Amino acid sequence: MQQCRKETVTLTVTDLYGNVSTCTATVTVEDNVAPVVFCPADKNRTVRNTTCTYVVEDFAWETSNTDNCAANGTTTEQFPAAGTEVVAENGRVTITIVTRDASMNADSCTFDVIVNCERELDIPEFISPNGDGMNDFWDLTELSSYTNNVVKLFNRYGTLVFEQRGYTNQFVGRGNVSNSLGEGQLPEGTYFYVIDLGDNNVDKKVYNGYVQIKR
């Protein structure tokens, strides 16, 4: 147990005749009272990456505390620690702050980081649908999180050759649009894609770019 402080106390006794006697004693005050820590309010964060990973920030500086023996100082720890990567897809990450004084008396508080994930897609720029088991299909597995997605592919002339709602890796180099250029096996070349994640406020982002077919 750490000492909070020491005080020297002097006792003086005087009798009826005015005789005086004194003595001194040292009083040591021990610290057995925990500090009190105060957390900030809940936080809102938006992350944009392919895995919905949130990197925990350093929130310790936003906390405050009081201690009956402030002269001895306090230490503060955060759990999860700053820099920790947490997969938090549209969820909450609870942050715990623990403050200890020199006598190891401790107090803690918690708050939540409310994480909204805007998942970035990892979109392959190349497929080789030749049956060798490598890159045979356009792998957009992450679209499974967006059931209202719409995928469109256009050839170099701007003609729609492939369209799929609720895409689940169906594109293997074959068109599915009923026109003279879009049905059946598509020729090698570069195609322009438009990927709409959905029709609600969360899934509003639209991706576009190019994918190459090479057999």
State pLDDT tens for residues 155-177.
Answer: 999 999 999 999 989 899 999 98
What average pLDDT does the structure give for the chain? Answer: 87
Q: What's the pLDDT tens digit per position in 116-139?
A: 887 778 899 999 999 898 999 999
Q: Which two tokens stand for residue 60?
A: 């310790």
> Beta strands of the chain (E only): which ranges?
3-14, 20-30, 36-38, 43-47, 53-55, 64-66, 74-79, 85-87, 92-101, 106-117, 126-127, 150-154, 160-165, 174-176, 183-185, 189-196, 206-213
The residue among 191 and 203 whose pLDDT is bigger is 191
Q: What gap in Å lies between CA 118 and CA 200, rounded to an integer?
A: 13
Q: Per-residue pLDDT tens for 9-59? A: 888 888 888 888 888 877 766 778 889 999 999 999 999 887 889 999 999
Q: What is the C-alpha separation between 162 and 135, in angstroms, rounded?
A: 18
- In one-letter notation, the amino acid at residue 179 is N
| Arithmetic mean of pLDDT, 166-192 | 85
Class of domain 36-117: mainly beta
Residue 114 has pLDDT above 90, yes or no: yes
pTM score, whole prediction? 0.62
Domain ranges in the chain are: 36-117, 126-213
